[in-house]
Amino acid sequence: MKILDHLEEWLISFFMAGATFIIFLSVLHRYGTGLRIPGVQDWLLSIDFSWAQELCIIMFVWMAKFGAAYGVRAGVHVGVDVLVNRLPEEWRTKTVYLALFCGILFTGIIGTLGLTFVWENGMHYALFHRFGLDTGDLPEGPTTPDLEWPTWVVYSAVPLGSYLMCFRFLQVTWQFWREGELPQHDHAHVEGLEEEAFGGKGGHEMLAAAKAQGGAK
């Protein structure tokens, strides 16, 4: 479960770092081919980087889908606005449950529709072919223009990301039912920054003491 709790963070970091690195290499390659250095220019021209843009687009799409699931877990998407805060306690609770239920329902539907599309777009054929089953008239499915990857693999980000987002909504609903609180995201907080400012080790205690002293004043 601990691995799943940090799954989105790892995937987002991997896709963002990977896409940034590929873009960096692609830019170096583009400008490097313009340098009239004997041997080097010919070597750079022999390297095919036409796939870089397509791969980066795919990585950013996957990053966005798993980033949405992270947003639910971290409280970026789930919140109570000013209007809901002004409602009576009973109505406020019901409104939050309604919002969470809508999130569960929506992401569940999108995930199911996405899985259906992926299944009919070549996943059905790929699985049957992989296990030696009769594929019959099943379509093999298209491939991407540059990388020539099966598009059903690329589009798998929709059902995977949506189902993970649905699971996060269920987690938030369970937490709200047990504790009566929704996850809150502090946009001004940078993890580790306050501790470093207060000497690293023991920073939490020093920070708490400083805040308490400030409150006493």
Summarize pLDDT for 45-92 with one digit per residue, the tens: 888 888 999 999 999 999 999 999 988 888 775 555 667 767 787 788
What pLDDT shows up at residue 217?
43
If DSSP codes are grouped into helix, strand and coil, which group holds residue 48? coil
Q: How far does CA 20 lie from the centroid of its chain?
A: 16
* Cβ–Cβ < 8 Å for 60, 52: no
What pLDDT shows up at residue 114?
97
What pLDDT shows up at residue 186?
56
Using N-to-C axis directions, what is the helix angle for 7-32 and 52-74, rounded to 10°? 150
* Cβ–Cβ < 8 Å for 111, 166: yes
> Can you read off the two tokens belonging to residue 166?
């649905």
What pLDDT shows up at residue 33?
84
Q: Which of 91, 78, 40, 60 is nearest to 161 (CA)?
A: 60
Query: For the segment 97-147, what is each residue's pLDDT rounded down to a tens digit?
Result: 998 999 999 999 999 999 999 999 999 999 999 999 999 899 999 999 999
Span between the terminal Cα atoms of the chain, in Å: 43
Query: For the segment 150-198, what is each residue's pLDDT rounded down to a tens digit?
Result: 999 999 999 999 999 999 999 999 998 988 777 765 555 545 555 455 4
